[in-house]
């Protein structure tokens, strides 16, 4: 699932191309292709009809990230929220609909991960934002911009890890779950917004903390190390254009590079890369998610 660095990469890309463009058309086949037709998203046909009516003619102002959500703010107090969930990513380019599927001459479409188009927004410059979502778990909704703080998708999120978060607040947030395992707490969006499975594994490997350690047993100096590692790892993810080990691609359909610098995530069975460590990376399900960690230096 795209995490803070991937969503940031997408949002930065969108901010280079979308502001001042007017929305001319919008299309989806979600409600034809999925059985989970939530009433309050575009996966419901009636909701989508109203969404379409509301959004055509809107001019994009700016695109923002909050946690793993993409917020496309437009004129007239309207915001489109897109949560990419497991396999979604936005692609920008020139597309044509042949009556059945969306096609493009853009080179990146030869990548199979870019071919599952289920939502398309057309703009005044003749280009489209096409949403590829292989497993169709994504969420797309429209809301009034000035009601964002009441929206459940936004209001329950913890602070942003990179935007001026202090060590004190970081510690205070994690300490809200003293009896839970640190891996589970790091990916809890109500504690910190934007960290998921990849970056939590990398942060814990960096600081040598076992993913099953309970938060109440983490020492003060370890909180400091974890705080520093979190910033370093997330910034590196952003600098590398995100992680494309799985489906994620940037808005031009290209892969990020963070998957080439994994120390723990999906390195099961391989030697630990920490200098001098003789451990191997093991995989274990913790709180329903796969954790990858070193058998020796993470304690």
CB of 280: closest distance to Zn ion in angstroms?
Answer: 8
Q: Does 272 engage in binding with Zn ion (CB under 5 A)? A: yes
Q: Would you call 2 a catalytic residue per the annotation?
A: yes
Nearer to Zn ion, 10 or 206 (CB): 206
Q: List, in sequence order, every beta strand (DSSP E) within the chain.
A: 23-28, 60-66, 69-74, 78-83, 88-93, 95-97, 102-104, 117-123, 128-133, 139-144, 281-286, 289-294
231, containing H or E segment: helix 220-239
Nearer to Zn ion, 56 or 277 (CB): 277
The β-bridge partners of 141 are: 81
Beta carbons of 7 and 68 less than 8 angstroms apart: yes
CB of 264: closest distance to Zn ion in angstroms?
Answer: 9
Nearer to Zn ion, 162 or 286 (CB): 286
Beta carbons of 91 and 249 less than 8 angstroms apart: yes
Maximum C-alpha span of the chain: 61
Using the contact rule CB under 5 A, the part of the chain among 39-47, 107-115, 196-204, 267-275 near Zn ion is: 267-275
Q: Spot the catalytic one: 43, 65, 66, 68.
A: 68
Q: Does 294 engage in binding with Zn ion (CB under 5 A)? A: yes
Q: Would you call 3 a catalytic residue per the annotation?
A: yes
Q: Would you call 135 a catalytic residue per the annotation?
A: no
Nearer to Zn ion, 276 or 288 (CB): 276
Q: Would you call 68 a catalytic residue per the annotation?
A: yes
Q: Does 277 engage in binding with Zn ion (CB under 5 A)? A: yes
Q: Spot the catalytic one: 3, 6, 58, 202.
A: 3
Q: Does 274 engage in binding with Zn ion (CB under 5 A)? A: yes
Q: Does 282 engage in binding with Zn ion (CB under 5 A)? A: no
**SS3 track for 143-160:** EEHHHHHHCHHHHCCCCC
CA angle, 130 as apex, 129 and 131 as ends, to 5°? 120
Beta carbons of 125 and 94 less than 8 angstroms apart: no
Letters for 190-209 (x = contact with Zn ion by CB under 5 A, - = none) are --------------------
Total site size for Zn ion, rule CB under 5 A: 7
Q: Which residues bind Zn ion (CB under 5 A)?
A: 272, 274, 277, 279, 294, 296-297
């Amino acid at each position: 699932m795209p995490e803070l660095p991937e969503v940031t990469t997408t949002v930065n890309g969108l901010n280079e191309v979308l502001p001042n463009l007017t929305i001319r058309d919008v299309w989806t086949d979600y409600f034809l292709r999925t059985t989970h037709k939530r009433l309050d998203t575009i996966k419901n046909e009636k909701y989508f009809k109203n969404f379409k009516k509301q959004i055509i003619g809107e001019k994009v102002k700016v695109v923002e990230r909050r946690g793993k959500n993409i917020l496309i703010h437009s004129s007239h107090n309207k915001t489109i929220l897109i949560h990419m969930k497991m396999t979604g990513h936005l692609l920008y380019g020139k597309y044509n609909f042949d009556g059945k599927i969306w096609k493009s001459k853009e080179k990146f479409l030869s990548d199979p991960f870019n071919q599952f188009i289920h939502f398309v927004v057309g703009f005044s410059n003749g280009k489209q934002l096409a949403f590829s979502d292989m497993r169709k778990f994504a969420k797309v909704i429209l809301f009034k911009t000035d009601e964002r703080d009441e929206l459940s998708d936004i209001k329950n999120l913890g602070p942003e890890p990179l935007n001026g978060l202090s060590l004190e607040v970081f510690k205070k947030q994690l300490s809200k779950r003293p009896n839970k395992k640190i891996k589970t707490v790091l990916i809890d969006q109500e504690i910190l917004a934007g960290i998921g499975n990849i970056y939590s594994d990398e942060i814990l490997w960096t600081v040598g903390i076992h993913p099953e350690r309970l938060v109440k047993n983490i020492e003060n100096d370890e909180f400091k190390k974890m705080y520093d590692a979190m910033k370093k790892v997330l910034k590196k993810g952003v600098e590398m254009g995100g992680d494309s080990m799985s489906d994620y691609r940037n808005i031009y359909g290209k892969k990020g590079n963070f998957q080439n610098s994994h120390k723990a995530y999906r390195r099961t069975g391989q030697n630990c890369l920490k200098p001098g460590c003789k451990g191997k990376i093991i995989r274990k399900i913790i709180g329903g998610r796969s954790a990858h960690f070193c058998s020796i230096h993470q304690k």
